[in-house]
Amino acid sequence: MFRKCLAPLTLLMLHGHPSPASAISRPAEHPIPAPAMTVNADTLTPGMVTFTPDIAYSTLPGYRPMLLDLYRPGGNGRHPLVIFVHGGSWTTGSKRTTGNFADFPGVLGTLAQRGFVVASADYRLSGEAPFPAALQDIKAAIRFLRANAERYGIDPARIAIWGASAGAHLGALAAFTGEDMEFDPPGMEHAGQSDRVQAFVGWYGPYELGGMFRQAMTPGSTVEPDGALRFFGCTRDGCPPGVFAKASPVSYADAGAPPTLLIHGTDDTTVPAEQSRQLNEKLKAAGASSELMLIGGVSHNWTGKDAQTTATASRKALEATFSWLERQLSGSR
């Protein structure tokens, strides 16, 4: 059974501060205690999470190895898998940071303690390779983890992908294009494994890119999205024909999409909430299962007018995400 309290997450509103070294520098296969703070009145029985850092899931000639961190709950049997994809405008970011969480590995460990195997994956950024390289990396991570399901205690029939910002864009594309050979590179590893997932969670993601970049392409714009534009092969003078349609998740939102949860701040000026509204409407019109949750008074990264508003919104998004994942992936083990 899944534990029902949202156990412990470290939510320190010091954006930009790195996670404590103790949370990310443990030797491979070394058990670490899950964090110790709860967010409701229930008391969580202390448990252990095994943290395995820097697993190479893809090695392509000419590029750095693509790495993921793995968090595994105690106990035997197969567990559902959640793959987290970080944001950063396709230009920056790390598998160990997101939003205003000072200890994001602690947050992922919390989810593992609730009965999930959790993977957090790096991918090629705009300065390393253009689209669709990052999408190919995320698909490679899904295939790698399926191929190693027995080794890592994963139930390959229960896999979800969860992304934030640019990571939500990549996660949505991966979720909506499962087994679509258009994005499969030649000679990919684990080609016999499916890259389909059974659920998708998107936090403040861009899903219709033409609208997102229209302002940036307008002469005189003060927006500086050069790294993001480079990721899609664009400059301020223009883009390759059709690239935004090809790279927009709304283009693939159909009845075959997995159950989807979209969460967005109503005051987001970086990625307007209309992006999540539009994808939600497209999925529902196609007959797919989709839920939209809007959090009032906060912008990108759940940033509010003060630290308390940011913390409250961040916790609300996490509670909704964890509970929804439990409902979607709670099949018998």
Catalytic residues: 165, 268, 300
Question: By the 8 A CB rule, do 86 and 141 touch?
Answer: no
Distance separating alpha carbons of residues 8 and 62, to the nearest angstrom: 40
User: How far, in Å, are 38, 54, 256 from residue 319 at the CA level?
Assistant: 11, 27, 27
What is the DSSP code string of 103-147?
THHHHHHHHHHTT-EEEEE----TTT--TTHHHHHHHHHHHHHHH
Which stretches within 9-163 are classed as H helix?
Answer: 21-24, 104-113, 133-147, 149-152
Decide if 127 contacts 91 (C-beta within 8 A).
yes
Q: How far from 37 is each of 4, 9, 306, CA to CA, in Å?
A: 15, 6, 22
Q: Are 82 and 160 in contact (CB under 8 A)?
A: yes
